[in-house]
Amino acid sequence: MLCKHIRQTTPKGLHMIRYKSTRQLSLEGFSLPFGGKLNPENRWVKWSLAIPWDELASGYYKSMSSTQGRPGKDARLVIGAVIIKHKLNLSDEETVLQIQENPYLQYFVGLSSYKDEPPFTASLFVEIRKRMGRKVFS
């Protein structure tokens, strides 16, 4: 289970960390450039509701410094990308491209609207593996 390695705690006083709680993300509010709406029956929409994002974010932020370095990517973006990568068995580069091209994946990782640009560089996965270790998301 994803939550097995993570205790429920709330990050406090984290200056270099960006995080938006899942309670702030709504399906109706996700903006598509061509109009229309996301299908609430889509697997990525359903999974986005089932995953304990706040718990996972707490575990992710434990591995980060709140006072040193540049601000990190939002935890949901990073954790969601790792889930997508492993669920679809993708390379680092292909994961970034899939997120860039798919509005359902962008919703899953917590973006509020579709953006036709990479959410981050593929090298971020190297940093994630260093920071979190390979076993955290297995």
Range of the domain at 134: 74-138
The answer to whether residue 106 sits within a structural domain is yes
Residue-wise pLDDT for 40-64, tens only, equals 999 999 999 999 999 988 877 776 6
The number of domains in the chain is 1
**Does residue 68 register a pLDDT over 60?**
yes
The answer to whether residue 82 sits within a structural domain is yes
d(CA 70, CA 90): 27
The answer to whether residue 105 sits within a structural domain is yes
Tell me the CA distances in angstroms from 58 to 9, 12, 83, 98, one per residue in order.
6, 10, 16, 26
- Angle, helices 124-132 vs 75-87, to 10°: value is 100
Residue 100 Rama label (left phi>0; alpha psi -120 to 50; beta): alpha
**Does residue 29 register a pLDDT over 80?**
no
Place 131 in a pLDDT band, splitting at 50, 70 and 90: confident
Q: Angle at Cα 64 formed by Cα 58 and Cα 70, nearest 5°?
A: 125
Place 30 in a pLDDT band, splitting at 50, 70 and 90: confident
Residue-wise pLDDT for 101-125, tens only, equals 999 999 999 999 999 999 999 998 8
The answer to whether residue 59 sits within a structural domain is no
